[in-house]
Structure 1
Amino acid sequence: MWQPKGNGVKKTGGNGLIAVAVDKDKSSQHALKWAVDNLLNRGQTVVLIHVAQRTSVSSVSSNCATTNPHQKQPDKQIRDLFLTFRCYCTRKDIKCFDVLLEDVDIVKAITEYVSFAAIEDLVLGAPSRHGFMRKFKADVPSSVSKAAPDFCNIYVVSKGKISSKRNASRSAPFTSPLLDQLQSQNDISDTQSRYSMNLRGLSPARGRGFDRKSFMDSSESDTDISFVSSGRPSSDHSPSMHYEFVDVGRNSRISTSSEHSLGSFRLGLRYSDRSSPYDLSSISQDSGATSCSCSSQNLDEVEAEMRRLKLELKQTMDMYSTACKEALVAKQKALELQRWRLDEERRLEEARFAEETALSLAEKERARCKAAVEAAEAAKRIAELEAQRRLSAEMNRLKESDEVKIASSNLSTKDLRYRRYTIEDIEEATQFFTESRKIGEGGYGPVYKCYLDHTPVAVKVLRPDAAQGRSQFQREIEVLSCIRHPNMVLLLGACPEYGIIVYEYLANGSLDDRIFRRGNTPPLSWQQRFRIAAEIATGLLFLHQTKPEPLVHRDLKPGNILLDHNYVSKISDVGLARLVPAVAENVTQCHLTSTAGTFCYIDPEYQQTGMLGVKSDVYSLGILLLQLITAKQPMGLTHFVERSIENGTLGEMLDPTVTDWPFEETLGFAKLALQCSELRRKDRPDLGKVVLPELNRLRELADESMGQTFFGGSLCPSSKSNASMTMQANS
């Protein structure tokens, strides 16, 4: 009957029946297109199978019980569904044979019809759902592939490609109930084609150059099969072939129609044996003898039907011509409306843009006026604050001048708490302040190393132009002469007339120099850093517990922490220290004073309000502790350490010169330092109750670790560096 394409899928012997399961989804269109491209040739017939799924068996029984099987025709939705695929097949010169199955189970309906009609090749479209949806919804192609008879080749097509294939294990039967029907349909189609040619020669539409095939080819591309308009009633006058067969397990209704059949004939068949679907001899006695529309007895009916169809064709052609003219007019009107709409939209957009521009300019002008008013008010406030600041500074200057006078008179007459050196003693020891004796210089003035009374000392000389240097000098002498503590620098004497202070000499310099390894000095071990932190907190707590009033350092930083030859830390530069009023233990100690200290180490709350308290030194201590373990500059250090702790990358922030940081202890050390450097004073921990106990615990851990290293037979690097620094100091 037909031969497969040479470049298509390889075929074996059989009856040559090819069927495509169709539905309203895109997968059915891909399946039909693949079948036309790979299995079908021009002039062949393809069986289009559609299953109308019913919800209950009772409705099936009632439909099958009707005496006339032609009473229930496929509804408009089913006809439009078949029409879409028939139009595509017509353009490809493929004949169609439509089959409508009504059943509750789609898979069972398809497989039983394939067995009944002896279909050799069945093409199904694969659903486009993703794997999650396929898990909860039955896959019809897979179920059909499993349940179909073994003589049928099953092709499952997904987006124009074969996704799965099940080959037949034996050849399909050469006989099929559909072969006679298809042959009869082809004969009738040939007869109708001859009548159509005669009708086309006599039709008035010939003068207008109407060509059905050329119209269909030009109206839509060959690859698109979803082109049938749903807005106009379908003019499908293709008669249908309906027949029923009764199965033992359920009742199914099958209706078929042919695209190329212009005649009308009906065949009523009823089967009762499910096991032999190919036996056409078991025709029901109730339906009577089979009536064939192609027999000689009904030839008159066929001719009458042909005349009716010619009249309908003429009317359809006239209606089409009128519709084309109306469509052209409507298209021109639509284009004009489109141009008008675009012009209106452009004008509206221009008006909107102009309005937005005007609003923007007005808003900018309003903001400019508001900013000018605010600037004027701010300038007025700044002027008022500046006047108050000047007045306050003048009063403080007068007060400090009085204090200096009183302190100078006290020091020059009866204060014997420190040794007084003459300027001749200092000049002789420093070799008249030679540069070779100079070991450092700060904001206060230069510092020289020399020997007084056969003791190495550090001499700090007040620079004549130092701002407020004289008051700080007097303050430092007053504070250091009254206190003694292992972690406070020791005052040996002074020459108050020339602003000279004599300290004990500390061989290892400042903590700032050791953290940043100036002079290529060896790095501090983590044990030494933990011990230094605890010593600084101890000395600071000593200042805060002085009687009768607490003493606040106000300038605590690594540069003001000095280290002796054993790396014992001592707090120096107490020239900015101030007394705060003594209050109850549960009340914060504060004192209103002018801001002093070093940027990045000053308490933010003290800097804003001028309220000084013991927790102002706690903030400076927090920044110092962070520098002690990271060896980084103080600017933004709290933010970087806090973010590294949140991201779990604290190890990258630690000083890389130390390779054996104890992570858990260092993490606790960093969190304690962050608590000390909180912006609000009330959020910082108490130095004596929280900070110092934790630092002492870490110092004990460091001492144990250093003891284990020493008794293990190796001298730690810090001990070696201590020895070398001691030799340099004695040289």
Structure 2
Amino acid sequence: MAAAASSSPYTGDSPEAPLSGEKVYVAVGAESRDTLLWALHKFGPQGTAFVLLHVYSPPKFLHIRGAKIPPSQLPEQELIAHKKMHLQSISDNLDQYQLTCAQQKVQAERLVVEADDVAQGLVDLISARNVSMLVMGDADDKHYAKKMKVLKSKTAQAVEQHADPFCKIWFICKGTLVYCRKAAPFSHDMMQECRQSSTCAQSSVERSSSLSEMWRASNTWLQKLNLDQHAETTSSYRYSGKEKEGTKECNESDNELHNILMELERVKQEAYEEKCRCEKAEQKLFEALQKAQASENLYFGELKQRNEIEVKLATTMEEVERLARTADELAAKLKEECKKILVLEKRSAHSDRIIKDVMLQRDKAVREAESIRVKNGESTATVDRTVHITELSISEIKEATNNFDQSLKVGESVYGSVYKGFLRHTNVAVKKLNPENTQSLSQFNQEVEILSRVRHPNLVTLIGACKDARALVYEYMPNGSLDDRLACKDNSRPLNWQLRIRIASNICSALIFLHSNKPHSIVHSDLKASNILLDGNNVAKLSGFGVCRMLTDEFKATTTLYRHTHPKGSFVYIDPEYAISGDLTPLSDVYSFGIVLLRLLTGRSGFGLLKDMQRAVQKGCLQAILDSSAGNWPLMHSEQLARVGLRCCEIRRKNRPDLQTEVWTVLEPMLRSASSMLCSLSFKSVSEDYGNVPSYFICPIQQDVMRDPLIAADGFTYEADAIREWLDSGHCTSPMTNLDLPHRDLLPNHALRSAIQEWLQTNTD
């Protein structure tokens, strides 16, 4: 080590031993290795104790999504997350510096202080800890020059000017000493005495802590020391002079002169005090005049504002009267339109049988075509994991939505609008993407590609698409979105806690399916309550796949699938790490799912919800924050859901749970318990209470209204669980004809399912 030190570039001063008990403070940042090595070369051989000092200054702007955002415009939770990340980075740097000191066999402490200004933080620390030796950087390495002897950094200049005069400071740039500020030339004991004197002086002036007052206190001590020495010399001189002169007349003369001088000093002091009193009186008079002027201006301003408010009030009253008249007229028109709609709905009920027959014939033809293709050895939609999506024309879309009539609009977002339509004798939901959005075409292709590859009971079903109109046709969900149901929109009935547990289980199941999709995982990336739709039985289905991402092999990391992309989605639900880094992983959906869980528990919006839930769990007052409209939550279920939701919302991804192995194991027992207690209207009770149930709504096996109708190879439609159980039990014949089934494939009957759901919704309302 000695040979290496002799050729080290970190020179500029010979090794120096500090005073006994003193520590060397080294101010370090992100790039301060050269400064630390210089300090180790200078003080390390003497076994000196080091303190690695870092002053953390909160940033004035945060870089989020490519923009500079002031911290005051961000939620407190996100500010805390940013600060934790910054402090973690600082801690990592200090670990590296401590390792460097350990390699040099030097003991080093670490100290992190927080201040709005780095220079002021260093100056305050020097004063508070009586630092006598400080090593810090001067400027960035790129600004270094061999002839540089003047401080370049504003921080270094401020510290050099305002730091305690008893602290010696070395300013280093690129491992080279640029400038050294010497300490006051006193011994160690005198420095301690001076500091004590400065402290006493500060206490006498209202305990001021500014550096300028400390400097004045130190100078006052020095002046006092010089004046005392001068007074002794003068006194000694006068004494010897008097001893030589020794006459009585001289003494009397001196006494008289002294008395005159004292009287003049007293008069001068009284004049000065009188002048100060006059100045104070003039200042008070000036302030009183200013207050009077301000009061007068305020009075005239309020008078003017009052007149303006009176004029606005009169105008507003006239507008209210006009709007009231318009509302009465519109109410009358609405009543007439409702009567017309009721008549049309009654007429459409008679066409159910015809619709069923037509759909059966079409489904039978599709099955026959599939059978022929299987016999010919061709791949089918089931084999290659793609589902046939019906291509629709613009004229069909416009006819289904009455040319996108605004009265049929059921939803709207930045990406487009959703209309209720009637297509091919079936109620559907038509989503028309906004043509002004430059990304609407990519979102259209994205939803078609994803939904044509996957099928799951808790994913919304895509029926057809029209590329020219950029319109997507989905199955109609009568109960709207979870966001609307939590807010009880249109006076809808609140969801009980059993239904909320089932909804959470449905969404968890859908996310597990998407994340485990083969060969490529799918990340939804826009999971929120408005993208969770409820069918006629309040079964939850996930929608809004316009911004989802498929994680292919090219985006694989060592242990986690991810994709770097520009963050999209709602601010409340977005993963903080995804918002900062742009790296999208399945754990981003886990964070959004945690917010959905907390909303199901409380019924509140997402803003500030995470912080309130954390506080409630910590204080043991969870019941106070639960949604009372859901009924009496079981204590065990509510606590388990709250803790799972908070774990899902961890700031760091690595701390979030796995949906399949951790979250589902909690939700599955709850789902079984809630299902057994669920007091909703069952299908069987509907068929018993209403005698006018269409016969084709009834499953031939269960003799009950179907909820998930599937078409078998015999051409008949059955309830999904019933026909699957029939086939799994070893039967290879039709339950209706007892003839052999040509194949075991099952096709969903979307048209019949939509008709059943609409009928149930109409009768239960």
TM-score of the alignment, normalized to the shorter chain, above 0.5: no
Higher helix share: 2
Q: State the TM-score bracket (shorter-chain normalisation).
A: 0.3 to 0.5
**TM-score after normalising by structure 1:** 0.42
**TM-score after normalising by structure 2:** 0.40
* Rg larger for: 1
